[in-house]
Amino acid sequence: MATDTTEVKAIARYIRMSPFKVRRVLDQIRGRSYREALIILEFMPYRACDPVLKVLRSAVANAEHNAGLDPASLKITQAYANQGAVLKRFQPRAQGRAYQIRKPTCHITVAVSPEATET
């Protein structure tokens, strides 16, 4: 039984968004087909959908161009967001105090591979 384990991925780094908010979107598309994921991302109301959609399209373009795979047969095998560098800023407050503001970034990784056709 020969299994084709071709997996093609795309990574978007230093996205100015919290990884927690991105993971909420990635959990919805993990394990689904490319077409299903496109529909889900198109109609979800979260701001994190835009960078995730961009990474997904990039991964599928990599699979099509570099590995010669058919986009219609692709399935999302991995989708995760790691924490990136945190930009630290300060907000002036009353009586000479300064409060720290943390602006998180994340790295989004999406991997696709052809769906296994069982015969």
Could you tell me the pLDDT band of residue 1, with boundaries at 50, 70 and 90? very low
Rounded CA gap, 43 and 112, in Å? 21
Rounded CA gap, 89 and 15, in Å? 17
Give 53's Cβ-side CA count (13 Å radius): 15
pLDDT one-digit tens code per residue, 57-71: 999 999 999 988 899
Which domains, ranges and CATH numbers included, belong to the chain?
A: 8-114 (3.90.470.10)
**Greatest CA span in the chain, whole angstroms?**
73
Averaged confidence pLDDT in the chain: 91
Could you tell me the pLDDT band of residue 118, with boundaries at 50, 70 and 90? low
pLDDT one-digit tens code per residue, 19-30: 999 999 999 999
**Interval 2-11 mean pLDDT:** 78
Strands 74-92 and 8-15: unpaired
Phi, psi dihedral angles at 114 (to 5 degrees): -65, 145
Q: What DSSP line would sit under 56-112, residue for residue? A: HHHHHHHHHHHS---GGGEEEEEEEEEEEEEEEEEEE-GGG-EEEEEEEEEEEEEEE
